[in-house]
Structure 1
């Protein structure tokens, strides 16, 4: 079915309340993108199994446009993907000219004047008016309920739900806004949890142990109740983003409120048809139903996840769909996740900007922070600080580990205030220049993302803090004291200066290797026996070539050592810092070894090691052959 996304008067929605016609929604945003040349239509028939993923993956990695697939095989509905696939489109979706403006917007709201008499009070009026936009606005009806299916009409196979990657356990809903309510307090939650289709009216519900939906389900179990659930597909892009945001536990602040604040108007909601839950009035589809906490959980997965690896099968609750409501002419929204960079990188960056002012309120020395795409959110956090006392880098890093979902961070690198945290190369040059292995590195333990396949335990693992700030005398010890005694002034010498490139040695299993000018050695290792990576690290540390190297990164055989992003993505996914990151002595003072190789059962790793996500060559060839038929620009092929 070809869709014509046209302005409101030409669409069959004349019976919807006039107050809702101008509420931002997915289709109005798609029209805006098309007007700006940021959306293309594909009318050629495409397959929802793998083909759309391969097309969308190429586009997002090359900064290409969003796509409206108007003819998805086996479904009457078109599919829209990639609407927030660039930094610029994400900013546009959230109503700002640049993502950095999100921090300014939040800082404006929280910086209320508490004194100054009448003038000070009047200065707060505009900000309080902004805050009034937080609560959602109840409407009697909306486009999301123009068509209602119940009973045998409910059939999820009619939706163009994607099977994204070859080893996926089935098709997955990838952009769902899952709505539940606390059975005891009435507190509402809206989150984004993938949903594997398991039948015409049943899906899995990927509620991990730390998710709010899990807490709601556990309370329903204790009360002997089923938990009502509604799943919105589409709506205002600001709400889609809000479902991914790590909101702090502030009374009255939920995802609808965040979307309302970002948009500057209260979000329109209405009651579900068969569930007593508020749902977005301007969504494309609403799935209504329940999760029964007394029912046996189902095997869900594998799934090609945002880490770039598959998450392996596990048990999760089942969601039973009892009703589907929709617009008369709905568009199915989707996204894909996988090897970075992906669309979720820009959603993560939006959260960085949005919550920077709050982090600075708690830790005022923070200048900026960034979670690079290679770290797939939690694996790597870079933070710059205004340093005034010794040990401050560790104070800030450990403070961050206590803030909400930042508790899942695996590696935190702290740099000086002048360093640009989003300059990946500059950050790692600071690490070699200012962080001595052992002296300026600290390992600890804590909760980690349950999707982390390399941790010492499920949801529990090691963490690494690297202090790459300029050192104060107290942080260096005897060398600094000697300088003071001799009356020497000026900055302390860097802890490491890379020497001329060395002839890198060959070791067992090393398939490829590269030395960088700033002291890193990237290695792709074909691992065949336990302890092989450790033996490689120790042999290299004793080799004369080690004097030119400060960091040894041992990755798997699938890693491209010519691509620093690929190396770091593999390393950060495949390490538990407490187990796999070790300082070793060398002739030049020290080497930090990162063992990002696959861990074996003989090494005490009892869980199955997941594969990296890769598309099949057959699908890649098919997309290559059809690229001109899609009508997409050749430069994105």
Structure 2
């Protein structure tokens, strides 16, 4: 289904009761974030804020804040249908004579929708600000979290072109407002925009950039998708395929770039590679932690174009689950068939919200030989942005990869620490604050498949091995709270039914977590425990998702996942300079209590239902 623009999608959501209007005045400074955060975490509706203080434009947020709304936005009944759609497209057959070839006509017709369609102009160019008219403060750009360095554009579709090949790229890179006509450009070292800027620098020229805000939902999603480097396949092409018709683009007013004709706003301008970079951040990021200040290029806005009566679309990122979890799931489904073409034994995979996309991957396989789990995991590390994965858990195909607790139960039952765990090294997301180096660190593979005799060794190699043959009891009896040991700094702890010991530690000295690990491994309460999970004092040990979210953000596996006897200890406490960690350790994102209190008091004024409060 093709939506003419984002406002048509909003109208559909409103008709379905999935978009509410708030007419009471609201602030872009933290208040909208607090409201939106509550709604997305409770499965609530999208919201149109019609009366934004200090701006003439309304703000809409949460348009793809549920799995169902994301599927609707992408023109499918369910996100699983994306995999079926792509599988049908790539399964072009040359067999069966004339009738067999005729069966491909519909598929090829879908593929013909890939190239964008050039139009003379579009609604997004109805109003134009040039030169001194440009004033980004007139646009209701959000300050999302208390420690943020300023307002950030959070749904920008950043368009640039390779200065040598002419190939176009669109990506979603946050943009901090630096002045009335400048922003930061958060092009990380692995991003295509960075490569374009490096080429422009070699050629001694500015890099033209256009930033679309809005468009239809398919294009917004496409800007986040990890597209493979296939000639002719770009984000406009993907959006065209998803919407079933070619995407309308027009030429920018002051830049020689194609821009979406149906967007709400376009920021046109340039990045000068000869300029010094500017300090950008902090920013409350999708990891749930703040990304600390760093140097990035400066984007100069030379013109702003917009439609009449535009709406400013925004999102927030932060402590999961957030709206981006559903965009990540859409990419999972969309690229599953391609992954299976390359690694055919994959039956399914999932990147759970606790892993914030790059920290954790669950993958199910149809296992046929020993060592296959490691073959699959290493193959995934070589697939595009999967190179940033930190922990990959490989499972039998009968374990549902989207069932978080079932996966960790299978790990406890089938993965013996040391024997079935393997560390390696590679690229790490530059937003990872715990890696040993910027953009470089270690990775962990966990083989939680049923073992073949060759994978066990010793006397057992002469027969088939079943899950019950492993040392771990499939039914584990956790120790009572009174039986758990005291240790300096432990503020909460428990053992669960699957053999995990979860500990919240207030760390005050170097080596404290390692001391705890050794002491607990030697304690009688460790009998039968497979994993000791050490977190910070702000972690809820009764919430497995919260525990793993903290652990995965705070480990470099080779350094922090250590075996003590039969116990695998995960040190997810903060690292100190005295321990050789020279970079500052960022705080977890939390909202200002005064803002929380204000939103509580005004909830009835907003007119939002109590169930989502």
| TM-score normalised according to structure 2 size | 0.98
1:179 maps to what in 2?
159
Q: Is the aligned partner of 1:220 residue 2:200? A: yes
Distance across 1 between alignment mates of 2:4 and 2:268: 23
1:338/1:613 contact within 8 Å kept:
yes
Matched, 1:501 2:481: no
Indicate conservation of the 8 Å contact 1:554/1:597, yes or no. yes
Q: Render the CA deviation track for 1:574-603: whole Å, top value 9, x for unaligned.
A: 000010001111xxxx11100000000111
- How much does 1:481 deviate? 2.9
1:190 aligned to 2:170? yes
The corresponding residue for 2:577 is: 601
Does residue 246 of structure 1 match 2:226? Answer: yes
Gaps of 5+ in 1: 1-21
Tell me how far apart the structure 2 counterparts of residues 551 and 24 of structure 1 sit (CA, whole Å): 51
Query: What residue in structure 2 maps to residue 444 of structure 1?
Result: 424
Distance 1:629 1:23 in 2: 32
Measured in 1, the distance between the counterparts of 2:408 and 2:465 equals 27
For 2:387 and 2:379, the matched residues in 1 are separated by 9
The 1-side partners of 2:122 and 2:424 are apart by 51
Q: Is the 8 A contact 2:162 2:199 kept in 1?
A: yes
Q: Does 1:465 align with 2:445?
A: yes
Partners of 1:327 and 1:382 in 2: how far apart?
43
Q: Do 2:453 and 2:465's aligned partners in 1 also have CA atoms closer than 8 Å?
A: no
Task: Tell me the distance in 1 between the aligned counterparts of 2:533 and 2:509.
Answer: 18
What is the CA distance between 1:572 and its match in structure 2?
0.3
Aligned-residue offset at 1:274: 0.5
Q: 1:99-138 to 2 correspondence within 5 Å?
A: 99-138=79-118
Match of 1:614 in 2: 590
Instruction: Quote the Cα distance in structure 1 between the aligned partners of 2:465 and 2:212.
Output: 63
Residue by residue over 1:159-216, the C-alpha shift from the partner in whole angstroms, topping out at 9 and shown as x without a partner, is: 0000000000000000000000000000000000000000000000000000000000
Aligned mates of 1:566, 1:499 — CA distance in 2: 22
CA contact (8 A) 2:155 2:315 kept: yes
- Superposed CA deviations along residues 316-374 of structure 1, whole A, max 9, x for unmatched, are 00000000000111000000000000000000000000000000000000000000000
- The more displaced of 75-84 and 115-124 is 115-124
Alignment of 1:234-383 (within 5 A): 234-383=214-363
- Aligned partner of 2:39 in structure 1 is 59
CA–CA separation in structure 2 for the residues paired with 1:101 and 1:505:
50
Asked if 2 retains the 8 angstrom alpha-carbon contact of 1:525 and 1:557, the reply is yes
Distance 1:23 1:85, change over 3 A: closer
> Retained in 2: the 8 A contact 1:88–1:98?
yes
Asked if the contact 2:135–2:180 (Cα under 8 Å) also holds between the matched residues in 1, the reply is: yes
1:434 touches 1:495 (CA, 8 Å); kept in 2? no
- Distance in 2 (CA, whole Å) between partners of 1:89 and 1:501 is 40
Task: Identify which of 377, 383, 388 aligns with 1:408.
Answer: 388
CA contact 2:505–2:534 (8 Å) conserved in 1: yes
Please list, as runs of the form range in 1=range in 2, the aligned pairs for 1:54-93 lying within 5 A after superposition: 54-93=34-73
Work out the CA distance in 2 between the residues paired with 1:97 and 1:437. 41
- How far off its partner does 1:117 sit? 2.3
Other structure's SS at 1:284 match: strand
**TM-superposed deviation, 1:121:** 1.9
The aligned runs of 1:146-161 (5 Å cut-off) are 146-161=126-141
Equivalent in the alignment of 1:17: none
Question: Which of 182, 197, 206 lines up with 2:186 in the alignment?
Answer: 206
1:37 aligns with 2:22: no
Matched-pair contact (CA < 8 Å) for 2:451–2:466? no
Structure 1 contact 79–331 (Cα < 8 Å) conserved: yes
**Deviation of the 1:25 alpha carbon:** 1.0
Where does residue 568 of structure 2 map in the other structure? 592
Post-superposition offset of 1:479: 3.9
Q: Which whole-Å CA distance do the structure 1 matches of 2:88 and 2:278 have between them?
A: 46
Please give the alpha-carbon distance, in whole angstroms, between the structure 1 residues aligned to 2:312 and 2:490: 46
Question: Aligned to 1:631, which of 595, 607, 610?
Answer: 607
Q: How far off its partner does 1:491 sit?
A: 6.0
Are 1:134 and 1:256, in contact at CA under 8 Å, matched by a contact in 2?
A: yes
Q: Structure 1, residues 493-514: CA drift from partner, whole Å, max 9, x if none?
A: 1331154222211111111001
SS of structure 2 residue aligned to 1:453: coil
Task: Please state whether the residue corresponding to 1:620 is helix, strand or coil.
Answer: helix
Q: Does the Cα contact within 8 Å between 1:416 and 1:470 map onto a contact in 2?
A: yes
Aligned partners of 2:162 and 2:243: how far apart in 1?
Answer: 26
Query: Retained in 2: the 8 A contact 1:23–1:282?
Result: no
- Inter-partner Cα distance in structure 2 for 1:290 and 1:41: 36
Cross-structure match for 2:212: 232
Question: Mean Cα displacement is larger for which, 63-72 or 497-506?
Answer: 497-506
Deviation digits for residues 136-168 of structure 1 (CA, Å, limit 9, x no counterpart): 000001100000110111000000000000000
- Indicate yes or no: 2:410 matched with 1:430: yes
Please provide the CA RMSD for this pair: 1.0
Q: Is the 8 A contact 1:233 1:286 kept in 2?
A: yes
Residue 386 of structure 2 aligns to a residue whose secondary structure is: helix
**Partner SS for 1:412:** strand
After TM superposition, the runs of 4+ consecutive aligned structure 1 residues lying more than 3 A away are: 488-492
Q: Shift of the alpha carbon at 1:558? A: 0.6
The residue matched to 1:442 in structure 2 has which SS? strand
